[in-house]
Chains A and B, each alone.
Chain A
Amino acid sequence: MDALLGPFVEFGFMRRALVGCLALSVAAPLLGVFLMLRRTSLTAEVLAHGVTPGIAAGFLIAGLSVPAMSIGGLVAGLVVAVGAGALSRATGGREDAALTALYLIALALGVTLVSLRGDTGDLTHLLFGQVLGVDDPALLLMAGVATLTLPVLALGWRPLALECFDPGFAQAEGAQGGAWHMAFLGLVVLNVLAAFQAMGTLMAVGLMMLPAVAARHWSRELSGLAYAAVGLATASSIAGLLASYHLDLPSGPAIVLSAGLLWIVSVVAGPVDGLLARWLRRPHLAG
């Protein structure tokens, strides 16, 4: 018991990290579920790397300041989101190669910009984040983004789901799927920025996508996917922080590795299309 609670009771920085990660865990995986269902999982990765040059520019101007880096990242993220949408239209939905090119360029540009002024410590911070070094402005950003994401998603839930399932019907019924999708992409940018504070640009989408992909093995219903994804992300955050404390691992990767472990468990043991469920076949029903 002490191994589970002790670190959080004893150390303020562990409590702050926990609060930040839980804020990420309740909001980001829901976006991940929709990204997965739209088959645009790559978009999250592109946005995460796409914000890098903006964050780096903020860093060049103001140093390691959360507001400056966030504003830079927000601008860059929105530019990339709009650019990715244009690429998608121009390539008729086969944009993955172009998007990959885009995020590689963005990442290289970001790293180059930081190297102009910063040292290796700054670069490590940019790439991998520092969950255990989350300060007040960063914590406020993470909590504020989660606080904004949940009600906007709640309002847009039906149109977003309808747009995913049957875009033609959504259009015919005037469901405003396109407008909601833009708002949705805005939320993805904000969540990537919030996650960046803790996990860095290379790991930012870990808590967004891995729990969402794992959730697929726990439910056949959208609401079930959402609950499962949030549950898995929360478990990954706590497990990752504890592993990081007890085993002296870097915290961001430890959280993403925990999420990865839960994904593997889901693939093997999940009730929906899980490997075990496939191997241990129960007798078929009579009708």
Chain B
Amino acid sequence: MRGPAVEVANLTATHQRHPAVHHVTARFEPGSLTAIVGPNGAGKTTLLRSIAGLHRIDSGRVAISGASPRLALLPQQSGMDRAFPILCLDVVMQGMWSKLGAFRSASAGDRDRAQAALEAVGLGGFARRPVGAMSAGQFQRLLFARLLVQDADLILLDEPFNAVDARTASDLLGVVRRWHGEGRTVMAVLHDMDLVREEFPHCLLLARECVASGPTAEVLSAANRLKARMMAEAWDETAPACAA
């Protein structure tokens, strides 16, 4: 498998006309593993959602190479109803939506694949458990199992290791490494700089605008990180229309 390249060209995406991502240009090579870092409010989530086609692009464009690249996004957990009465195996089965859709029935093979994904994230015995009984870490493992089943070429992870303990993070990181080894293109929004330095060959430092992108060691230089911190987070109500 060879994941697609992603080309972001002069991309601007806004919230109520204020840019969250402002004239960002970046390229993600096929099969690359990239960390997206930057302060809170830097537009990391908006960038991922724009690439996934879930946030309206104001100007510029996103191009994903390949005939029909399959894309999977792991959002932050806040939008989900953790009290919903559903069993773990059924959540994993949702990952087969592109194959099964609203109407087709799942085969025994599909169920085995879902069960195998649960085992791969360390939730082997959880198939018949309701999600309401899971901890935040277990729930994140479950979402990774759903991602595994989605079998996407391009995988976008929004703060995948938030609110999980060290062991869960390291297990899930193993899954990310496996995807990278298989040649999938992976991007992850992260806050842990040590983790980024150790595990992610490429990095994009974002502060609404692209501060730097490329090999992680160069991107995360002291000068770049200071620059990112200086870029105002301010929401200027009286900002004029952008001329660029």
Judge if B193 is at the interface, Cβ distance under 8 Å: no
Contacts of A220 in B (CB 8 A): 85, 130, 132
> 1/0 contact trace for A155-190 toward B, CB 8 Å?
110110110111111011101100000000000000
For the complex of A and B, list the 3 residue pairs with the smallest distance between their C-beta atoms, beginning with the closest: A220-B130, A173-B97, A165-B84
Name A155's contact: one of B84, B94, B102 (CB within 8 Å). B102
Judge if B52 is at the interface, Cβ distance under 8 Å: yes
- Rounded to whole angstroms, the CA-CA distance of A233 and B102 in the bound complex is 28
Interface residues of A in 221-246 (CB under 8 A from B): 221-222, 224-225
**Given A175-B102, A219-B85, A220-B85, residue A166 in contact with residue B94 (CB < 8 A):** yes
- Rounded to whole angstroms, the CA-CA distance of A161 and B75 in the bound complex is 18
- Interchain CB contact under 8 A, A168 and B81: no
Contact residues of A with B, CB < 8 Å?
Answer: 37, 155-156, 158-159, 161-162, 164-169, 171-173, 175-176, 219-222, 224-225
Min CB gap B160→A, angstroms: 15
Min CB gap A167→B, angstroms: 6
Contacts of B94 in A (CB 8 A): 162, 166, 169, 173
Closest residue of chain A to B133 (Cβ to Cβ) is A220
Contacts of A221 in B (CB 8 A): 85-87, 130
- Interchain CB contact under 8 A, B130 and A167: no
Interface residues of B in 62-115 (CB under 8 A from A): 71-73, 75, 79-81, 84-87, 91, 94, 97-98, 101-103
Assuming A155-B103, A156-B102, A175-B97, what are 12 further A-B pairs, CB within 8 angstroms?
A37-B81, A161-B86, A162-B94, A162-B97, A164-B81, A165-B81, A165-B86, A166-B94, A172-B52, A172-B54, A172-B71, A221-B130
- Rounded to whole angstroms, the CA-CA distance of A158 and B54 in the bound complex is 21
> 1/0 contact trace for B114-134 toward A, CB 8 Å?
000000000000000010100
Min CB gap A163→B, angstroms: 10
Contact residues of B with A, CB < 8 Å?
Answer: 52, 54, 71-73, 75, 79-81, 84-87, 91, 94, 97-98, 101-103, 130, 132
Closest residue of chain A to B78 (Cβ to Cβ) is A168
23 contacts between A and B (CB under 8 A): A37-B81, A37-B84, A155-B103, A156-B102, A161-B84, A161-B86, A164-B84, A165-B86, A165-B91, A166-B81, A166-B94, A168-B54, A171-B54, A172-B52, A173-B97, A173-B98, A219-B85, A220-B130, A220-B132, A221-B85, A221-B130, A222-B84, A222-B85
Name A166's contact: one of B54, B80, B85, B103 (CB within 8 Å). B80
Min CB gap A153→B, angstroms: 12
Contacts of B79 in A (CB 8 A): 166-168
Min CB gap B110→A, angstroms: 14
- Rounded to whole angstroms, the CA-CA distance of A221 and B87 in the bound complex is 7
- Interchain CB contact under 8 A, A37 and B54: no
Closest residue of chain B to A166 (Cβ to Cβ) is B80
Name A172's contact: one of B73, B84, B101, B130 (CB within 8 Å). B73
Min CB gap A60→B, angstroms: 42
- Rounded to whole angstroms, the CA-CA distance of A128 and B91 in the bound complex is 42
- Rounded to whole angstroms, the CA-CA distance of A167 and B132 in the bound complex is 17
Contacts of B73 in A (CB 8 A): 168, 172
- Interchain CB contact under 8 A, A168 and B75: yes
Min CB gap A40→B, angstroms: 12
Contacts of A175 in B (CB 8 A): 97, 102
- Rounded to whole angstroms, the CA-CA distance of A158 and B105 in the bound complex is 11
Name A168's contact: one of B80, B84, B98, B101 (CB within 8 Å). B80
Closest residue of chain A to B87 (Cβ to Cβ) is A221
- Rounded to whole angstroms, the CA-CA distance of A161 and B130 in the bound complex is 14
Closest residue of chain B to A39 (Cβ to Cβ) is B81
Min CB gap B74→A, angstroms: 9
Contacts of A37 in B (CB 8 A): 81, 84-85
- Rounded to whole angstroms, the CA-CA distance of A224 and B85 in the bound complex is 9
Among A155, A158, A167, A169, the one with the most B-chain Cβ atoms within 10 Å of its Cβ is A169
